[in-house]
Amino acid sequence: MAEPISPSHPSRVASFRNEWSALLECASASRDRQRLAGLLRSVDWSRLLVLADEHGVAGQLAACLRSLEDNSVPPEMRQALVERQRAQIFFTLRLTAELFRILERFTFEGIGALVVKGPVLAVQAYGDPSMRAYGDLDLLVRQRDIRRATELMSAAGYAPAVPLSAIDAGKIPGQYLFSKPNSKLIVELHNDLTLRYFPRRLPLEDFFARQIRVRFDAHEVPALSVEDELVLICIHGAKHFWERLMWIADVAALLSRQTGIDWERVADSAQAVGAERMLHTGLRLAADLLRAKLPDKVQAKVQADVMAARLAEQTGKWLPAAGYAPPGLFERALFRMRMRGGMLSAPAYLLRLSLSPTEEDWMVGAGAEVQRHGFLDAVRRPFRLARKYGRGGKS
């Protein structure tokens, strides 16, 4: 029986240089088997496993190693990956079943919803809902339906992080989060008010009008068009400073699998929300790090965006550490402004993010605190952000 792998401490991932090169090759859109075999000869397998877990690409690593000869991968490594994938499959099945139940309830009540990221992205980018690691379900729901959706989720046994009193008071959180006690089930509802990292308010009705149906597990679910999904995941990666490889791998995999992308629609979707540079940075990272192929015209436009190239290079400095060596507070602010671009729009974007309170600022829970004045919440927010992001990397 193979000995189990004893992983290194995650906080040391920044020093896993050989393992990082191997992981990039495994996640690449066009893998070089000969180069990969050479890289794997010099890796510490426990470090490689930790790095894959921290970057959320254990599924890609498992698929990559399965294609290699048996004697090139230690049996304990294969076993560790099999166990991780089995656990992910079981969890995915639970989440998928819950997704179908929620959509059925919402449809019965006349609540429109679009599934974003999670299982739909896994199918669109990898062809397998269990291939990509995700821990929750994300849905787009119109603001007018949030109160009724909260009532339905509560009736289904979920505990809302944002109570009805806060919704009635007009408070807008970062997301409407629901968790089921004694389980790991988490559902987040989003809309054009909560997705504040979009530089401009997203045209939610246009997203609903362009929706498609994605089929998995013998069901079809409503989802964003591939073009809108691509823009959304690039904005999501930018929101998190591209600190995990999984967000770049998603872009590369989506580009590789979805060969019929309408690039004019992608450009229009990005322009509508002011996210051209976020899109260019995501495409640049996918092309440079994971060899994703872009059409010539798109490649030329991305290459011409000098600031996107600088942002991609900057991202490469902290990316291998998977969030354990994040940019400092000033660097974060500058990065956000450069992501937005424009002499006036960039500082305005940063100012809006800095002064738009979320549930962390108005402390959902006590009824009296929910009624706080919005101006005071906005004033408190920059100080909370300074405390939060002045502490360094994740624990």
* pLDDT value of residue 1: 39
* Nearest-angstrom CA–CA distance, 204 and 365: 29
* pLDDT value of residue 324: 92
CATH number of 89-325: 3.30.460.40
pLDDT exceeds 70 at position 187? yes
* pLDDT value of residue 395: 44
pLDDT exceeds 60 at position 170? yes
Identify whether the C-beta of residue 234 lies closer than 8 Å to the C-beta of residue 282.
yes
Condensed to tens digits (0 to 9), the pLDDT of residues 369-394 reads: 455 566 677 777 887 777 777 656 66
pLDDT exceeds 60 at position 2? no
* Nearest-angstrom CA–CA distance, 383 and 372: 17
Least confident of 13-17, 58-62, 104-108, 120-124: 13-17
CA-CA-CA-CA torsion sign (99, 102, 104, 106) = negative
CA-based angle 98:136:80, to the nearest 5? 105
Condensed to tens digits (0 to 9), the pLDDT of residues 326-373 reads: 898 899 999 999 999 888 999 999 999 988 888 888 764 444 445 556
Q: Which residue has the higher pLDDT, 76 or 8?
A: 76
Q: What is the mean pLDDT of the chain?
A: 90
Can you give the residue ranges of every domain in the chain?
Answer: 10-73, 89-325, 326-395
- Percentage of the chain modeled with pLDDT above 90: 71
**pTM score, two decimals?**
0.92
* Nearest-angstrom CA–CA distance, 325 and 322: 7
Query: Where is 215: in which H helix or E strand?
Result: strand 212-216
* pLDDT value of residue 70: 67
With 0-12 CB in 10 A as exposed, 13-18 as middle and 19+ as buried, what is 110? exposed
| 3-state secondary structure (DSSP) of residue 53 | helix
* pLDDT value of residue 390: 67
Condensed to tens digits (0 to 9), the pLDDT of residues 316-325 reads: 999 999 999 8
Amino acid of residue 29? A
pLDDT exceeds 90 at position 224? yes
Phi, psi (rounded to 5 degrees) for 258: -95, 90
Condensed to tens digits (0 to 9), the pLDDT of residues 47-60 reads: 999 999 999 999 99
Q: Which residue has 């409503």 as its token pair?
A: 222
Average pLDDT (19-48) is: 93
Task: Tell me the C-alpha to C-alpha distance, in Å, between residue 70 and each of 74, 76, 81, 180.
Answer: 8, 12, 14, 41
* pLDDT value of residue 254: 97
Least Cα distance to 279 among 331, 340, 224 occurs for: 340
pLDDT-based confidence at 154, cuts 50/70/90?
very high
Identify whether the C-beta of residue 25 lies closer than 8 Å to the C-beta of residue 35.
yes
Condensed to tens digits (0 to 9), the pLDDT of residues 267-316 reads: 999 999 999 999 999 999 999 999 999 999 999 999 999 999 999 999 99
* pLDDT value of residue 392: 60
Nearest-10 Cα torsion for 30, 35, 39, 40: 80
